[in-house]
Chains A and B, each alone.
Chain A
Amino acid sequence: MSAVRARAAAAIVLATATAGAPGCVSRARGGWPSNDLLIVGYDREPDTLNRFSTHILEDIESCIVEGLTTTDEQMRVVPLLATEVPTIENGGVRLRGDGGMDVVWKLRPGVTWHDGTPFTSADVQFTVEAINGPDYNPESTDGFDRITSVETPDPLTAVVHYREIYAPYDIQFIRGALPRHVLQGRDIDRAQDYNRNPLGTGPYHVVEWKSGEYILLERVAHYWRGDAYPRIRRLLFKFLPNTNTRVNQLKNGEVHVVALAPWDKYRELAAIPSIVVARTPGNAYEHVTLNERQFTPFADVRVRRALISALDRQGYARTILDGLAPVADGPIQPVSWAYTDRIARYPFDPAKARALLDEAGWTPGADGIRARGGKRLAFTLVTQAGYAIRESLAQAIERQLREVGVDVTVELRDGTALSAIWFEGRFDAMLHWWQLPSDPELTTFFAADRTPPAGRNINYFRDDALTELLYASDRTVDRARRKALLERAQAIIADAVPEIPLYSVTRLDAVPASLANFKGNPTNTGIFWNVHEWAIR
C-alpha cells in the first residue's frame, strides 16, 4: 500500500512541477484567441456601465460609449466623436472679456446611437444639464459645474459656455454623452436598463451581463467607422478578482488578455510563449506623502531632503521593481507634455542625509535614533496590505531610514481604510500613488488651500508662490504658456520635496502575441481606446 501512496505522491509532485512551467500548456481550454472571440480577465465587476456614474476603470464602457475626445497611447488628446479638438488656433476656443470662455465642439457627421437615432449636439446639451441638475448623482461634476449653458446652433455644433477659463476643457466630454431620447425626464441613478446596458455609439454593445461572472459584448452592425470595424466579433470580460486565478486562467487559455497585470507576476507571464506583456509608461507615480500637520518635523525642508537622500531609489527600481519602472523625480511623468527634467534631483547619499539631520538639530541617541528636544525622529509609514511590492518597498524604506537614525514603523491597512485615513489626514507618512488624468493639473495636490477636505494636498504643504503658479496654470489655455508655468511649479516642488517621489508607474498588460494593433494607454482611459482596430493575426 505504501508503494501506491508513494506513486500517488509522485504524480502530484510531478503535476505540480509541470504546472509551474509556463511553457507546458498543451491546449487552451477557452479556445485560442480569434477574431470571433477574445476573452479578457478583469479584476472586478463594474458597479455600473454608466461612464458618468462608475467609480471603476472604464475599460468595458469605452468599448460601448465613446467620448468627444479620447487619449492615445502617448497621452495626446485626440478627437473621437468630435471632428477636431477645439483650440484657440483653430477658433474652437474663444476667451471672453468677462473672464469666461466658449468652446465650440463640431460633431462628426453620420454618427448614430446603436438604436439608429442620430447623435447630435442636443445629447451634449442634455448631458451637461443632467450632470448639473439636482436629480442625478454622477461620480464627479468637475468642470461641468463651471459650465453656465450649452447652445446648439445646429445638430452638429455644441457651444459650451464656461463662467471661467478651464484649462482641461479638451477632456470635458471624454466620458461621452448621455442619450437624451432615452434618459430625458428619468431618474438616471435608477435607470437600470441604461446603466446595465448603455446605449452608445461605440464598436460594441452589451449582449449579456451575468452578475458575478461576465459581461459579453458583441460588435454593432454598422459602426460609424465602417463595416470593416471592429475586427473582433465578441469580447468577453470575465470577472476574476483573485490575482492568482486570473494568472492561472491566462496560462490555461481560459482568458487571453489581462489588463494591469501585477508586477510580481511579470516574469511568470513573460515566459508564456503565446503571451506578450506590453509595458506602457504610465501617468501615475508612487511616492511617500509626508504629512507636515500630523508629524511636524516634516515641516523642516532639511529633514525632507535628508529623508529622500537616505533612500536608494535606483536600487529599489533595479531590485524590488525588477527594472520595470523608472525612478520618478516629481509628480508629472515623462509621458506628459508638461514634464520637465530641469529640476533638482536627489541621488542616494546617506552621508548627506546624516549631515542634513545634524544641521537640523536631530542628534543620534543611545539607541541610534535621532532626537531633538526630547522628541524622537520616529514616525509611522502606512501603506496598503496585500500589495506585495508596496510591502517590500515599505520594509526597504524602514531599513534605510533607520541607518541614518530615523525610526519608521510600517502599518498595513486595506485599500478602503487607507482612503479614509488620507482623506481625514490621520497619518504621519503614507506610501501610495496618485494616478493623474491626462491633464497635468497639480492644484488639488499642492495648492496651500487644497488640504482635505478641500483637495488632496495631504502633505499639508504650504508654498504661496507655488499655489499662485498652479492656479495661474489652471486658468491658462495656451499650451506653451501653461507649460512654462508648470515647469516652474515642478522646479519649486523638486526643491522643497514636500513628498518623496519613488517611481513612475509602468502599466503591464498581458495580451496574445497574435494580437495586432494593440497600443496600450498610460491613463485611466484604458487599453480599449482603440479596440476597433484590434485583430488576431
Chain B
Amino acid sequence: MGDPVSPRFLARRFVQAVPLLFLVSAVVFLLIHAAPGGPLAIYLANPNVRPADIERLRRALGLDRPLWQQYWTWLWAFVRGDWGYSFSDGRPVVARIVERLPATIELVAVALACALALTMPIGIGAAVRRGRWFDRAATIASMAGVALPAFWFGLLLQMIFAIGLGWLPSSGRATPGGGGLVDHLQHLLLPTAVLAIVLASGWSRYLRGSMIETLSQPFVAAARARGVPERRVVLRHALPNALGPLIALVTVDAALLVSGAVVTESVFAWPGLGSLFTEALARRDYTVLMAMLMLSASAVVAFNLAADVAHAIVDPRVPAS
C-alpha cells in the first residue's frame, strides 16, 4: 500500500491554515464585539454601580481603546501564547480552559466511541437488509434521533431515569466530594446517551446510503462471483470504500464537540468547555470567548486534515500528497 501521506503535504496544509485562522480571528473578534451588550453590561443591574464605576472598569479592561487597537493587542499577545485574563473572574484564560478540558474530552471521547459503536452495525445492517424490517426500524429510529432537540431529549432522560426511576443521578460529573468509578460512570451515562444517540442517528443514515451505493458497484459483484463469503464481501471489500463520507462527517462533528457540547453540558451541568462557553457568552467575557473560538477553529482545521489523512489510508484511491 505504501505511505499515502507525504510530509510535504502535511507541511503545506499547516501553512495554508495560518492565513485562514488569521481571517477567522478577525471575523470572530468583530462579531463578538458587534453583539449587543459587553462585559460591563452585567454590572448595570446593580444600582450602586454608577457611570463613573463603569468608566473606570472600561478603562481597566482596555475597552476604551479603538477596536483595531484592541484586536491588535489581543492578536499579538495570543500568538505569543499570552491568552490574557478572563474579564469575568480575573484568572488566566489558559487556566480556565485547561481545567474544563478533561471533562469535555471524557464526555466527547466516550460519546464518539458509543456513537460509532451504534453507527457501524445499524448503518451496515440497514444497507445489507435494505427494505426489510431492520432497515425500516433503523430508519424510523434514526429519523427520530435526528429530529430530537438535545435539550429536550436530555430532560426527558432525566425525568425517566433520574426522577421517575431513581436509577441515575440527574446531572453533574461526580458526587461532590467523593464517588468512585461506578459513581463516575453513572454520571456519564445520560449525557453520553444523548450525544451518542443524536450523533449515531445522523451518521448511520450516511453510512447506510454510502454502503448501498458501494454494494451495487461491479467490484462487489465480482467478489461475490469469485465466491468470497458475503460477510467478507461486506466488511473487507465494501465497507472501506463506503467509509469516506462517514469519516468526513465524524471528524467535523468531533471537532465541533471538542470545543464543547454546549446544549448537553448545560442540561446535565457537565463542567466542560461547553458550559464555560455558555457562561462566557452570557457575560460577554471577550478574552475567554476569543480563545475558545480560536481553539474551535483550529480543531476544525486539524480534524479536517486528519479526515483527509484517514480517508487516504482507508481508501488508496484518494490522493493525499
Contacts and interface: CB of A to CB of B under 8 A. Distances in A.
Nearest to A134: B56
B163 A252 contact: yes
Interface in B148-198: 155-156, 158-166, 169-173, 175-177
B284 interface: yes
Q: Main SS of chain A's interface residues? A: mixed
Contacts, number: 188
B166 A15 contact: no
A45 B163 contact: no
Contact of B163 (A139, A236, A251): A251
Contact of B47 (A16, A44, A437): A437
A142 B48 contact: yes
Given A137-B60, A420-B37, A25 B166 contact: yes
Contact of B155 (A48, A244, A436, A455): A244
Interface residues of A, number: 74
Interface string B111-151: 00000000000000000000001000000000000000000
Contacts of B52: 141, 145
Given A15-B160, A213-B172, A417-B35, A242 B266 contact: yes
B199 to A, nearest CB: 21
A48 B89 contact: yes
Interface string A237-270: 0111110110011011010000000000000000
B99 interface: yes
A212 B169 CA distance: 17
Count class of interface residues, chain B:
35 or more
A12 interface: yes
A423 interface: yes
Interface in A309-363: none
B4 interface: no
Residue from B45, B163, B278 with most neighbouring chain A CB atoms (10 Å):
B163
A216 B177 contact: yes
Contacts of B96: 211
Interface stretch (B7-15, B246-254, B268-276, B299-307): B268-276
Interface of A: 1, 12, 15-16, 18-20, 24-27, 29-30, 39, 44-45, 47-48, 53, 55, 137, 139-143, 145, 189-190, 192, 195, 208, 210-214, 216, 236, 238-242, 244-245, 248-249, 251-252, 254, 413-423, 434-437, 441, 444-445, 452-456
Given A29-B169, A139-B46, A435-B45, 17 more contacts: A15-B164, A45-B279, A139-B48, A195-B89, A208-B177, A210-B176, A238-B269, A245-B155, A248-B159, A252-B162, A252-B166, A254-B169, A419-B42, A423-B41, A441-B47, A453-B51, A455-B51
**Nearest 3 A/B pairs, CB to CB:** A212-B271, A19-B164, A417-B36
